[in-house]
Amino acid sequence: MIGNPYEIFQALEDIRPVDRTFQRNMQEHLDRLIKPVGSLGRMERLACQIAGIQKTIKITVDPAITLVFAGDHGVSDEGVSPYPREVSAQMLNAYQRHWAAISVLARQAACQVEVVDVGVQGSWEPWGKDNTVVSRKIRAGTRNFVKEPAMTHEECLQALQVGMDKAGQAFQDGHRSILLGEIGIGNTTVAAALACALLQESPRIMTGHGSGVDHAGWERKVYVIDQALSRHLESDLDPFEMLTRLGGFEVAAMVGAILGAARLGVVVVLDGYITGVAALLAMRMAPDTVGYLVASHQSHEPGHRRVLGALGLRPLLEWDLRLGEASGAAMSLPLLRQTCAVATEMATFSQAGVSSSDGAEHEALPYPVKEPHPFSLPERMAVYRAIESRRDIRRFLPDPLPEGVLDRLLHAAHHAPSVGYSQPWDFIIVTDSEMKQRLKKLADRERQVQSLYFEDERSALYLKLKLEGIVEAPVVLVITADMERGGAEIIGRHTMEETTLYSVACAVENVWLAARAEGVAVGWVSLFEKRHLRHVLGMPANIEPVAVLCLGFTEHYPPEPQLKTVGWAEPESLTRLIHWQRWDGSTPQSNV
């Protein structure tokens, strides 16, 4: 078999972002179900993701299939694994007899398993009529990447093609989701080497104990990876070349399967570290691929957390797994099924005849109650407190946001008013340290330029404004405006085109107020030249960047706005800013 470069590169061109319209439709549907809005947390976010992938709110992940790709690695000659390469072939025999961990887990989850031998070192014999294990072997193991590239370009293309073919066959057979896994001796070493190359991290940070090496074995792995990186890494090495030099047949096949699934609109459930690295390679080849991925768990391998961060994915489980074989993916499948069932089987308020929160009773007020019903006194005070105590923060702690908080902030933003109900906002969530450093460099450069427009004292003060929050905050949220969303004719925008931007500004304020209520600090960084920001974040020409918000926690939450404290400006008197009936009208003419 020869890999078809045209088909592979065509797949990269064919991959499109998940459908935002169906994601919004799903969120609106979830908000109408008989539960408090947003009360199912990340389950709702997952349902919206699947709706965007499948372009329907009638979502399902069934039938599901588990694809496990098997291949051994020449680097195992360096003593990086406690197991000989013959173990992989022996495990293939166990898969045929349904004895392995994934065999049991998939059976419990009622999920088909197919194991694909793309590069196992030893031989195995078909067992009866069982077709769990199939051979698409390219070579009996890769070469030792300490001494030479692991694969040739042709071999890497073949492995990519195997993965794409398997994803395509799964789609033709009606499967709506693929659970991705691997097996192979030496593959955690390969994953760590690729992760170091992709994220420019040290082997000591990205390397774990794999299948159980002791400390001396771990030191050996780190040394071997260092040697390989020194030999193969060059500037501007593209992901395909990285994969060829440092990867493996099963890793390349998983990259192909991810690309093929994304091309066809199939949900991909990742397993652990090695599948995560394959996903990162796929994302570097086709950035929109990431929208089709679900991270089943965060493994025991230390580099996996950083890989998931670079992908922008949050794991469903954290059970310290380090087995592979798609075991974690199989464990998460019931969660995905429950997500789909809730989205498609729960009743709405109108269907069930249940009053929503809008019909809640309120305390007695000294005036007649009219629509809309007022909040209770504590609720009203909380709203005004959030408004008045909002602050713009510049320094952040590295602590992550608690689970569910970011989802709630985005939910608040998405419920902002918008002209003609166009909802023109999108949200770019940046958690990758490298990307945050790039954003900080942009802001630093623009601050230097803008400081020239101020006089000496103010220029010096301007240059002291802190920008470290961009890299310190665990999350940087970029909120944008789609100037074309809703078409040319939008109710309310005919005479004021800027209302699209005003709508997004409302979403920004919603995030800020919700963050204050959650105890989360926010810093708005506006020191960006739009075209540079658009380039770094890969934004289309019709998308306007509106706000770059740093989200996290801070050691000191100031009682007064920072610019007031340092003497930059004084607050205006509200009385001076109110005009009655017309501009500069000073006396109210009637009661309000």
Q: What angle do CA 518, 520, 523 make, to 5 degrees?
A: 140
Task: Calculate the CA 455 to chain-centre distance.
Answer: 43
Q: At CB < 8 A and 24+ separation, what contacts does 398-402 make?
A: 398/472, 398/474, 398/552, 399/474, 399/552, 399/553, 400/474, 401/474, 401/475, 401/520, 401/551, 401/552
Q: Where are the alpha helices (DSSP H) in 32-151?
A: 42-54, 86-96, 101-108
CA-CA distance, 8 to 15, in Å (whole number)?
11
- As a whole number of angstroms, the distance between CA 41 and CA 46 comes to 9
Residue 345 annotated as catalytic: no
Q: Beta strands 475-482 and 543-552: pairing type?
A: antiparallel
Residue 293 contacts residue 270 (beta carbons within 8 Å): yes
Kindly list the distances between the CA atom of residue 466 and the CA atoms of 242, 442, 547, in Å, as whole numbers in the listed order.
Answer: 37, 14, 17
Q: What's the sign of the alpha-carbon dihedral 216, 217, 222, 224? A: positive
Query: What is the C-alpha separation between 91 and 500, in angstroms, rounded?
Result: 58
List all residues 6 or more positions away from 31 whose beta carbon is below 8 Å from its beta carbon.
37, 38
Given the residues 325, 446, 472, 518, select the one marked as catalytic.
325
Q: Are 1 and 162 in contact (CB under 8 A)?
A: yes
Find the length of the chain: 592
Amino acid at the residue 69: F
Q: How far apart are CA 51 and CA 343, in angstroms?
A: 10
Question: What gap in Å lies between CA 11 and CA 33, rounded to an integer?
Answer: 38
Torsion of CA 495, 500, 506, 510, to 10 degrees: 160
**482 bridge partner residues:** 543
Alpha helices in 519-573 (DSSP H): 530-536, 562-565
- Strand 267-270 to 293-295 pairing: parallel
Where do we find the tokens 């698409």? 136
Comparing CA positions, the residue from 475, 472, 462 lying closest to residue 554 is: 472
What's the chain's Rg over C-alpha atoms?
27
CA distance readout (Å), 588 to 525, 580, 591 = 39, 6, 7
Which helix (H) or strand (E) segment holds residue 177: the answer is strand 177-183
Q: Strand 267-270 to strand 177-183: parallel, antiparallel, or no bridges (unpaired)?
A: parallel
Catalytic residues: 325
